[in-house]
Amino acid sequence: MYSAQQTQHLEKVSREFLKKDAGVKDIDELRNSLRFHEYRYYILSDPLVSDTEYDQLYKQLEKLEKENPELITKNSPTQRVGSTLNAGFPTVQHLVPMLSLDNSYNEDDLIDFDRKARENTGLDTIEYCVEPKFDGASISLIFEDDELARGATRGDGVEGEEITTNIKQIRSIPLSAKFSDYNIQLAEIRGEVLMSKKSFKKYNELMEEEGLPVLANPRNAASGSLRIKDPKLVAKRSLEAFLYHVSYYTTLEGKKVSDEKDHSKENISKREAPFITHSESLQMLWDLGFRSPEKEKKVVKGIEKVIEYCKEFEAKRDDLPYEIDGMVIKVNDLALQDKLGMTSHHPRWAIAFKFKARQGTSKLIGVEFNVGRTGAVTPVAKLEPVFIGGVTVSSISMHNEEYIKEKDLRIGDTVLVERAGDVIPQIVKSLPEVRTGHEKIIHYPKQCPVCNSELFKEEGEAVWRCINIECPAQVVEKIIHFVSKDAMDIKHFGAANVLKFYDLKLLSDIPSIYTLDFDKIAELEGFGKKSIDNLRTAIEDSKQQPLHRLIYALGIRYVGETTAKTLANAVKEIFDFASMNIEELQSLEDIGIKVATSIYGFFQNDDNVKMIKHLKELGLNMKNTKKQSSVESNTLSEQTFLFTGTMNKLKRSDAEEIVEKHGGKIVSGVSSKLNYLVVGEDAGSKLEKAKKINTIKIISEDEFLEMVKQ
């Protein structure tokens, strides 16, 4: 898409704009830079500027366009955001009907498909293109004269809903693409809109915390998001899109080329340049700046190799950042595709190979109500155990009262359960058709199931909360959160020990972690000298954890790990928050009014401040050591580092500190900006990604230590 020379140029130009604002004469160059950075970020996942730097460039363009509205172009990066729709989405006709695919579930089905294809074409061996079957919502886009002209949902396959404005919110879809370089005037292309597993999880966590309905799975999330009336809300859902099919195009000379060979009204031409195979069409889409499955696809000859690749992909299904539910096998030669043609439902030149289902049905046999660390009472469905995708599921969170009502879930119901990869199992729906009439409505408790105090619901919220801060359930959950891996990371503690120690009155609140009576613990079954020593050391070590971990560990509402880091960087020590007002808090990066109010409230509460003071007396670090730790040497000056996997000799935080002390920088992701990836045990996707960027040096923990020793 961008040559090395263009890349170098655009990067240089952007750096200049970051140093000195672009002027009106630079507006085209600025737009090109923004498009380029979108491509690096959304298509290559390899950004060359930070998010803040991107925003800075974007703001410059917004300002220039505001001052010079006559210079706004239709496909400017600022033109993605549209206005809210009042009426529904208009219906539009697809240029070629969107058919579905025939499904196969095992090797025999595939062998059968290949046999038929060979018989129908008279060939001995067929070349196939095998690619993932993305599990999202299908879309159809029309590009005309190099610009995105229309986006539509699948609808009934013949007609869909026009959702162009929402499609524009998906940053991996370019608003313009040089189809004319391929002699194409108009093209209809097909693809799938997805929500990544990470965005899905983040979205649901937020919804759950706010007591709003959560989404059942990333697929529903994607299709639901496309039909939201407010494009700004669509933009917030971080959707992505893969484009995998060109169903129709016209050449600059006016020739028409279509999937539908026997289209009665049109004079359809034969397949010819720019692409005569499916894989070439994927390559073209990739080169035009679309995210096509160019890197994921494989072209193979014969069905055995197809089966092999399908199995290979199924094995790494869980490691992918998005959901796939199978593979799609397509005859690669487009002329052969035309020869095979279609039935009224599906093409004869393609078949889906579906992976093992991750859905199952089970019976909802009861409901338990759990109390979380913020006092939120969460209903948990107890199910007859059902084996789905390799694990037995017997209990599933139903999130809140709204969720139960919306899905009309009743005790005794048969429910459809889905486990999507590393996504927590969800109840998709109940099956009212199989009700016997004996099902029971789920009643929400009025009192806390643990401490019996009355439950409250804030206005506009769907969560019932126990507001008794001494409620044992909340206390226990708060301690569990405090010791957890992402918080203070006190190893050998864990939820089971917290519960045990609390029941035995060895633990009563967070500070009591640091005054544990180890003699009493030694009397307990299963606690030998070694395990007690381990626990004691882990607790002692945790006192030196960096400030952002302590802030996160306190469990302040809406303060996740990222916000905790922002907060830690803004102060010298934790007590500084007690004198900050909401406005000051809100001025920090990515902290809105809701979060700021919550932090303010937390530090205005005397009990909380008292507890933190107590923790200080017990020897916990309260200071932002990062800011104060002065650079001791310049050995690593200008060099960027990232640690991945489990280190044997160093704690992650110590390693990061060493880097900074020697003048180096820690970055958060693998990109061409990264100089060194330090790899510990069981390193995963970061290592794989780094291997693909040959400027990154991949080193071991020992090699890293050697570097800083010098």
> Which residues lie closer than 8 Å to 228 by C-beta, 6 or more apart?
166, 234, 237
625 phi and psi angles, rounded to 5 deg: -70, -30
Complex with ligand IVH: residue 133 or 689, whichever CB lies closer: 133
Helices (H) and strands (E) in the chain, counts: 25, 25
Given 3-state DSSP classes, what are the helix, strand and coil percentages for the chain, each rounded to the nearest 5? 40, 20, 40
Residue 328 in the binding site for ligand IVH (CB under 6 A) = yes
Q: Which stretch binds ligand IVH (CB under 6 A): 44-52, 133-141, 463-471, 599-607?
A: 133-141
**CB of residue 246 to ligand IVH, shortest distance in Å:** 10
Report how far apart, in Å, the C-alpha atoms of 619 and of each of 406, 542, 576, 614, 668 are: 49, 10, 18, 9, 30
**CB of residue 245 to ligand IVH, shortest distance in Å:** 5
Residue 350 in the binding site for ligand IVH (CB under 6 A) = yes
Question: Which one of residues 17, 134, 143, 501 is an interface residue with ligand IVH (CB under 6 A)?
Answer: 134
Asked whether the beta carbons of 26 and 17 are under 8 A apart, the reply is yes
Residue 244 in the binding site for ligand IVH (CB under 6 A) = yes
Report how far apart, in Å, the C-alpha atoms of 564 and of each of 183, 538, 554, 604 are: 52, 22, 10, 18
Question: Which one of residues 22, 43, 92, 99 is an interface residue with ligand IVH (CB under 6 A)?
Answer: 99
Residue position matching structure tokens 């040089």: 178
Report how far apart, in Å, the C-alpha atoms of 543 and of each of 122, 349, 500, 532, 615 are: 74, 63, 23, 17, 9
Query: Which residue's Cβ has the minimum distance to ligand IVH?
Result: 138
Q: Which stretch binds ligand IVH (CB under 6 A): 94-102, 308-316, 360-368, 600-608?
A: 94-102
**Short-list 351, 321, 315, 285, CA closest to 133:** 351
Which contacts of 1-10 are long-range, i.e. CB under 8 A and separated by 24 or more positions? 1/39, 1/43, 1/286, 1/287, 1/288, 1/289, 2/36, 2/39, 6/36, 7/36, 10/36
Report how far apart, in Å, the C-alpha atoms of 35 and of each of 57, 419, 457 are: 11, 37, 46
Residue 347 in the binding site for ligand IVH (CB under 6 A) = yes
Task: Show which residues are catalytic.
Answer: 133
Question: Which one of residues 31, 35, 94, 133 is an interface residue with ligand IVH (CB under 6 A)?
Answer: 133
Q: How many CA atoms are closer than 13 Å to the CA of 420, on its beta-carbon side?
A: 27
Residue 291 in the binding site for ligand IVH (CB under 6 A) = no
> Which residues lie closer than 8 Å to 337 by C-beta, 6 or more apart?
259, 278, 330, 331, 347, 349, 350
Question: What is the footprint of ligand IVH within residues 597-656 (CB under 6 A)?
Answer: none
Residue 282 in the binding site for ligand IVH (CB under 6 A) = no
Question: Which one of residues 100, 125, 562, 648 is an interface residue with ligand IVH (CB under 6 A)?
Answer: 100
Residue 364 in the binding site for ligand IVH (CB under 6 A) = no
**CB of residue 330 to ligand IVH, shortest distance in Å:** 7
Question: Cα 116–118–120 angle (5° rounding)?
Answer: 70
User: What residue type is 267 in one-letter code?
Assistant: N
Q: Which stretch binds ligand IVH (CB under 6 A): 85-93, 346-354, 597-605, 671-679?
A: 346-354
**CB of residue 569 to ligand IVH, shortest distance in Å:** 42
Complex with ligand IVH: residue 275 or 577, whichever CB lies closer: 275
Residue 352 in the binding site for ligand IVH (CB under 6 A) = yes
Give the residues across from 152 on adjacent strands: 140, 162
Q: Which two tokens stand for residue 77?
A: 């990066």
Q: How, if at all, do strands 665-666 and 640-644 pair?
A: parallel
Question: Which one of residues 40, 168, 197, 245 is an interface residue with ligand IVH (CB under 6 A)?
Answer: 245
Residue 192 in the binding site for ligand IVH (CB under 6 A) = yes
**CB of residue 577 to ligand IVH, shortest distance in Å:** 48
Q: Which stretch binds ligand IVH (CB under 6 A): 96-104, 615-623, 631-639, 650-658?
A: 96-104
Question: Which one of residues 32, 33, 138, 332 is an interface residue with ligand IVH (CB under 6 A)?
Answer: 138
Complex with ligand IVH: residue 323 or 418, whichever CB lies closer: 323
Question: Which one of residues 101, 442, 490, 521 is an interface residue with ligand IVH (CB under 6 A)?
Answer: 101
Asked whether the beta carbons of 14 and 34 are under 8 A apart, the reply is no
Give the residues across from 380 on adjacent strands: 368, 397
Complex with ligand IVH: residue 173 or 595, whichever CB lies closer: 173
Complex with ligand IVH: residue 152 or 352, whichever CB lies closer: 352
Residue 131 in the binding site for ligand IVH (CB under 6 A) = yes
Size of the site for ligand IVH (CB under 6 A): 15
**CB of residue 320 to ligand IVH, shortest distance in Å:** 13
**CB of residue 157 to ligand IVH, shortest distance in Å:** 8
User: What residue type is 274 in one-letter code?
Assistant: P
User: In the complex, which residues of this chain contact ligand IVH (CB under 6 A)?
Assistant: 99-101, 131, 133-134, 138, 190, 192, 244-245, 328, 347, 350, 352
